[in-house]
Structure 1
Amino acid sequence: MNEPHLIGFLLNIAGAAALLIWAVRLVRTGVERGFANQLRTWLRHSASNRLLAAGSGLGAAVFLQSSTAVAVLASNFVAKGGLSAATALAILLGADVGSALVSQLLLVRQSFFIPLLLLLGVSLFLRSSNDSLRQVGRILIGLALIFVSLDMIRAATGPMVENPGTLMVMEYLGRDLLTAFVIGAAFAWIVHSSVAAVLLFVTLVGQGILPTTAAAAMILGANLGGACIAYVLTLSAPAAARHMVVGNLVLRGGGALIASVLIAVQPALLSYLGADPARQAINLHLAFNIVIAVLALPFVGSITRMIAAVMTDKSPVGLNLEAASALDPAALSRPSRGLDCAARELLDMGQRIEKMLIAVEPLYDNWNSLEAQAIEEQDRIIKKMHLEVKLYLAKIAQQGLNEELSRRSMDLASISTSLDAASDAISRVMLELTQRMHAQGVSFSPKGREEIGDFADRVLGNVQLALNVMMNQNPAEARELVAAKEKVRRVEQKLQRHHLERLREGLVESIETSNIHQETLRALKQINTSFSMVGYPILAKSGDLLKSRLT
Structure 2
Amino acid sequence: MSMEDIQMLIKFLGGLGIFLYGMDRMGDGLQKSAGHKMQQLLGALTDNPVMGILLGTGVTAIILSSNATTIMVVGFVNAGILNLSQAVGIIMGANIGTTVTSWIVSMNEWGEMLKPEFFSPILVFSGALIRYLSRNGKAKQVGEILVGFGLLFVGLGFMSETIASYHSNEAFLSVFTFLGKNPLLGVAAGLFVTVLIQSSSVSVGVLQVLALNGMIGWQCAVFINLGQNIGSCAAALRSSTGANRTAKRAAVIHLLFNAIGAILFGTVMAVLFWLNPDLAVSPITSVGISIFHTAFNVINTILLFPFAGFLVKASGILIREDASASKCCKDSKDEMKRHLDSRILDTPSFAIESVTHEVVNMGYAALKNFDLAALVLLEDNKSDAIKVKKMEQMIDDYEKILTDYLIKISNQSLNEEQHLLVKNLFYTISDFERISDHCENLSELALEKSRRSIVFSEDADRELHEMFHSVRSSLEHSIKARASSDMSEVRAVVRSEELVDNLEEEFRERHITRLASQSCKPENGVIYLDTLNNLERISDHAHNIAGFVRDEV
Q: TM-score range by the shorter chain?
A: 0.5 to 0.7
Whether 1:296 and 2:286 are equivalent positions in the alignment is no
What are the ranges of 5 or more consecutive residues in structure 1 without an aligned counterpart? 321-348, 359-420, 436-459, 504-518, 530-551
- Per mean C-alpha deviation after superposition, the further-off stretch among 173-182 and 183-192 is 173-182
Q: Contact conserved, 1:35 with 1:132, CA < 8 A, in 2?
A: no
Distance, in Å, in 2 between the alignment partners of 1:494 and 1:37 is: 14
Larger radius of gyration: 2
* Secondary structure of 1:83's aligned partner: coil
1:422–1:270 distance in 2 versus 1, CA, 3 Å: farther
Look up the equivalent residue of 1:307 and give its one-letter code: S
- Residue deviations 1:74-121 (CA, integer Å, cap 9, x gap): 333333443331122111101110101331133212145424422342
Q: CA deviation at 1:163?
A: 1.7
CA separation of 1:296 and 1:487: change in aligned 2, threshold 3 A: farther
In the TM superposition, 1:78-227 aligns within 5 A as: 78-109=77-108, 110-111=114-115, 113-227=119-233
The CA deviation at 1:44 is: 3.9
* Pairing partner for 2:287 from 269, 279, 287: 279
Q: Is the 8 A contact 2:215 2:283 kept in 1?
A: no
Contact 2:25–2:145 (CA under 8 A) maintained in structure 1: yes
1:197 Cα shift? 0.5
Partner of 2:11: 12
Shift of 1:42: 0.9
Give the superposition deviation at 1:170. Answer: 2.3
What's the counterpart of residue 499 of structure 1?
489
Selected match of 2:266 from 256, 260, 263? 260
Measure, in 1, the Cα distance between the counterparts of 2:50 and 2:370: 35
2:337 to 349, 354, 358: 354
Paired with 2:231 and 2:318, the residues of 1 have a C-alpha distance of 22
Q: Does the 8 Å CA contact 2:120/2:153 hold for their aligned counterparts?
A: yes
Question: Are the aligned partners of 2:190 and 2:228 in contact in 1 as well (CA < 8 Å)?
Answer: yes
Counterpart of 1:392?
A: none
- CA 1:178/1:235 → structure 2, altered by over 3 Å: closer, same or farther? same
Contact 1:31-1:63 within 8 A present in 2 as well: yes
Please tell me whether the aligned partners of residues 23 and 142 of structure 1 are also in contact (alpha carbons under 8 angstroms).
yes
Aligned mate of 1:466, from 381, 394, 407: 407
- Alpha-carbon offset, residue 240 of structure 1: 2.0
Match of 1:429 among 344, 366, 380: 366
Contact 2:56 / 2:92 at 8 angstroms: preserved in 1?
yes
Distance between the aligned counterparts of 1:149 and 1:97, measured in 2? Answer: 24
Post-superposition CA distance 1:283-325 (Å, at most 9, x none): 11111101111112223234213423542234646999xxxxx
- 281-290 or 104-113: which moved more? 104-113
**Counterparts of 2:259 and 2:230 in 1: how far apart (Å)?**
4
Q: Write the letter of the residue equivalent to 2:219.
A: T
Question: RMSD between aligned alpha carbons?
Answer: 4.5
Change (3 A) 1:229 1:485: closer
The letter for the 1-side match of 2:338 is K
- Report the CA distance shift for 1:356/1:243 in structure 2 as closer, same or farther (over 3 A): closer
In 1, distance between residues paired with 2:236 and 2:370? 36
User: Is 1:357–1:426's contact at 8 Å kept on the other side of the alignment?
Assistant: no
Q: Deviations over 1:208-253 (max 9, x none)?
A: 2223322221111111111121121122222223333311210102
Deviates more, 1:10-19 or 1:41-50: 41-50
Asked whether the 8 Å contact 2:360–2:483 carries over to 1, the reply is: no
Q: State the match for 1:241 in structure 2.
A: 247
Q: 1:269 to 1:92 in 2, by over 3 A?
A: farther
Q: What CA deviation, in whole Å up to 9, does each residue of 1:396-426 have, x standing for no partner? A: xxxxxxxxxxxxxxxxxxxxxxxxx979936
| Corresponding position of 1:70 | 69
**Mapped partners of 2:129, 2:305: distance in 1:** 43
Change (3 A) 1:224 1:357: closer
Name the CA shift for 1:23/1:47 in 2 (closer, same or farther; >3 Å): same
Q: Report 1 or 2 for greater relative contact order, CA contacts < 8 Å, sequence distance ≥ 6.
A: 2
| Residue 485 (1) aligns with residue 491 (2) | no
Trace 1:357-368 onto structure 2 (pairs within 5 A). Answer: none
The TM-score normalised by the length of structure 2 is 0.60
Pairing of 1:10-89 with structure 2 (within 5 A): 10-33=9-32, 35-36=34-35, 38-47=37-46, 49-89=48-88
**Using a 3 Å threshold, how does the CA distance of structure 1 residues 357 and 159 change in structure 2: closer, same or farther?**
closer
Distance of aligned partners of 1:461 and 1:290 in 2 relative to their CA distance in 1, 3 Å threshold: farther
CA separation of 1:120/1:185 partners in 2, compared to 1, >3 Å: closer, same or farther? same
Structure 1 residues 228 and 179 mapped into 2: Cα distance closer, same or farther (>3 Å)? same
SS of equivalent residue, structure 2 residue 232 = helix
Q: Given that residues 205 and 278 in structure 1 are in contact (C-alpha distance below 8 angstroms), is that contact kept between their aligned partners in structure 2?
A: yes
Give per-residue Cα distances to partners, 1:141-199, cap 9 Å, x unaligned: 11111111111222111121122222222222222232222121121112221111101
Q: Deviations over 1:232-289 (max 9, x none)?
A: 11222222233333112101023224423443343249959x9944333221111110
Superposed CA offset, 1:441-487 (max 9, x none)? xxxxxxxxxxxxxxxxxxx9996452467xxxx69789998654356
Q: 1:58 to 1:139 in 2, by over 3 A?
A: same
Aligned 8 A contact 1:263 1:269 in 2: no
Question: What secondary structure, in the 3-state scheme, does the structure 2 residue paired with 1:160 have?
Answer: coil
CA distance in 2, matches of 1:51, 1:249: 20
The range that moved more, 131-140 or 172-181, is 131-140
Residue range with higher mean Cα deviation, 42-51 or 219-228: 42-51
User: In the aligned structure 2, how far is the partner of 1:144 from the partner of 1:433?
Assistant: 56
Q: Which runs of 5+ in 2 are unaligned?
A: 109-113, 342-357, 373-400, 429-480, 494-537, 549-553
> SS at 1:208's partner residue?
coil
Give the drift of 1:39: 1.9
| Distance in 2 of aligned mates of 1:108 and 1:22 | 19
Q: Contact conserved, 1:87 with 1:300, CA < 8 A, in 2? A: no
Find the aligned partners of 1:270 and 1:466 in 2 and give their Cα distance.
Answer: 59
Rounded Cα–Cα distance in structure 1 between residues aligned with 2:104 and 2:313: 35
**What is the TM-score of this pair, normalised by structure 1?**
0.61
Compared CA separation, residues 302 and 260, structure 1 to 2 (3 A): closer
Distance in 1, matches of 2:367 and 2:84, equals 26
